[in-house]
A and B are shown apart, each in its own frame.
Chain A
């Protein structure tokens, strides 16, 4: 039963569950983000700069290889020539660099979720109005949406620039989604810790580094499995599943510890 107007029915009123609270917070964050574009601009500038850097570096690599290919004998085929024009690094390395880019782009924007609430003082009103679990869920889903949006916007351009292969579409999507989940989960709890410590972006990065190292190692394992020709199902399950498990584990641990971070 919901209360209307100013009537207050503490004994009989059903408490709104944490899902509706989290949904309200998510809707508020999306509305505020669409209006201020704080996270989008931070992520956008970093992504654009990173992609530009990768594009220029890749172009330089192509040019160097073009000169050397021109010195090759005439027996080189067109296909082999085109292959040679690609950068020398392989797809798992490219995937690793893509995630380094996504990590820093996401961290540049995701820290706003809690730090902004703490810095502007709105955290007091939230603390008075919401349970810790609902706050964590709302912020996590918002960060996951931002991370997925960044990945969807950046990955195709990056693949075009670097020639990174798709591999198996299902495994590729699994790797990308698991990566986004792990990244959003890590960024959410680290942002909460940094905000509590009245931290800045620098602190955000410092706290997040140990978690990111583990995350990137698991990600490279998953990328290697993705690009291994005829990789056994067991390896795919182990490596891609390992990445997904990291995301699930970090979210589960964060959900358990967040109330202690949230309470003064």
Chain B
């Protein structure tokens, strides 16, 4: 399979909340093996832009084009091509970590074996804690579980909003490893990261800066 089999292109994206324009005419193309960075001050619209890419929000104008194996991706397939980590994302506190992964795995059409779940939890540093209720997790553990959720099915596109929020040093290393593996993903993988951290900006191959339009 060609390494350039996946790409995301943002073409002239603009968005506003009521009278306030958040950003205007944003364009960015990220191809397989690449990491795109979205930077900007608080309230500049980084999270909003990622939500638009994820299909959670419709842009005021412009479009997001997904290409997989040189073909445009239909909306129904699009959501299964995306792994999303964000402060806005919450998993079910009344379920255990494993139950959350099994549930979202089912929704993605995955049959997660015991070994598969074990590997996923091990990858994010939650091995041995999967049977605990998420409500009893620390904020860092919840962030790690979000990565386990995002990586279900090894999606070709990772969208990471504040990727190291609440994580300790080991957690940051885990995120670096996830991003490195995403670049090398079989069949092509890419990531788009929204951040204000200089260290995380350095992970990218290209960046778009949001200035917070009026």
Answer whether A10 and B95 are a contact pair too, CB < 8 Å, given A24-B103, A264-B58. Answer: no
Contact among B91, B94, B109, B119 with A3 in the assembled complex (CB-CB below 8 Å): B109
> A130 to B109, alpha carbons, bound, how many Å?
11
Contact among A24, A31, A124, A130 with B95 in the assembled complex (CB-CB below 8 Å): A31
Contact among A14, A31, A264 with B57 in the assembled complex (CB-CB below 8 Å): A264
> A130 to B95, alpha carbons, bound, how many Å?
18
Answer whether A35 and B94 are a contact pair too, CB < 8 Å, given A8-B153, A10-B81, A24-B107. Answer: yes
A16 to B109, Cβ gap below 8 A?
Answer: yes
B195 within 8 A of A: no
Contact among A6, A25, A121, A129 with B90 in the assembled complex (CB-CB below 8 Å): A121
Contact code string A53-64 (vs B, CB < 8 Å = 1, else 0): 000000000000
> A124 to B79, alpha carbons, bound, how many Å?
12
B91 to A125, Cβ gap below 8 A?
Answer: yes
Output the nearest chain A residue to B189 by Cβ-Cβ distance.
Answer: A8
Answer whether A129 and B79 are a contact pair too, CB < 8 Å, given A8-B156, A10-B68. Answer: yes
B116 to A4, Cβ gap below 8 A?
Answer: yes
Contact code string A1-32 (vs B, CB < 8 Å = 1, else 0): 01111111011011110001100110110011
How distant is B150 from chain A, measured CB to nearest CB, in Å?
9
Contact among A2, A10, A122, A128 with B92 in the assembled complex (CB-CB below 8 Å): A122
Q: Which residues of chain B in 55-95 are interfacial with respect to chain A, using CB atoms and an 8 Å cutoff?
A: 55-58, 68-69, 73, 76-77, 79-82, 84, 86, 88-95
Contact code string B115-151 (vs A, CB < 8 Å = 1, else 0): 1100110000000000000000000000000000101
Answer whether A3 and B153 are a contact pair too, CB < 8 Å, given A24-B107, A122-B90, A128-B79. Answer: yes
A127 within 8 A of B: yes
> A264 to B153, alpha carbons, bound, how many Å?
25
Answer whether A130 and B92 are a contact pair too, CB < 8 Å, given A6-B116, A6-B153. Answer: no
How distant is A15 from chain B, measured CB to nearest CB, in Å?
7
B200 within 8 A of A: no
Output the nearest chain B residue to A121 by Cβ-Cβ distance.
Answer: B90
Output the nearest chain A residue to B117 by Cβ-Cβ distance.
Answer: A5
> A148 to B82, alpha carbons, bound, how many Å?
38
Output the nearest chain B residue to A6 by Cβ-Cβ distance.
Answer: B154
The interface size bin for chain A is 35 or more
Contact code string A242-264 (vs B, CB < 8 Å = 1, else 0): 00000000000000000000011
A65 within 8 A of B: no
> A260 to B90, alpha carbons, bound, how many Å?
23
> A124 to B115, alpha carbons, bound, how many Å?
28
B177 within 8 A of A: no
Answer whether A128 and B109 are a contact pair too, CB < 8 Å, given A5-B116, A36-B94, A120-B90. Answer: no
Answer whether A6 and B151 are a contact pair too, CB < 8 Å, given A122-B90, A122-B92, A130-B107. Answer: yes
A2 to B111, Cβ gap below 8 A?
Answer: yes
Contact among B73, B103, B113, B155 with A8 in the assembled complex (CB-CB below 8 Å): B155
B40 within 8 A of A: no
How distant is B50 from chain A, measured CB to nearest CB, in Å?
11
Residues of B within 8 A of A28 (CB): 92, 95, 99, 103
How distant is A126 from chain B, measured CB to nearest CB, in Å?
8
- Can you list 11 A-B contacts (CB < 8 A)? A5-B112, A5-B113, A5-B115, A6-B119, A6-B120, A10-B80, A20-B109, A27-B103, A120-B92, A120-B93, A129-B79
* Chain A residues with a Cβ under 8 A of chain B: 2-8, 10-11, 13-16, 20-21, 24-25, 27-28, 31-32, 35-36, 120-122, 124-125, 127-131, 263-264
* Chain B residues with a Cβ under 8 A of chain A: 51, 54-58, 68-69, 73, 76-77, 79-82, 84, 86, 88-95, 99, 103-104, 106-113, 115-116, 119-120, 149, 151, 153-156, 187
Closest 9 CB pairs of A and B: A121-B90, A16-B109, A24-B106, A129-B107, A6-B154, A5-B116, A8-B154, A32-B94, A28-B103
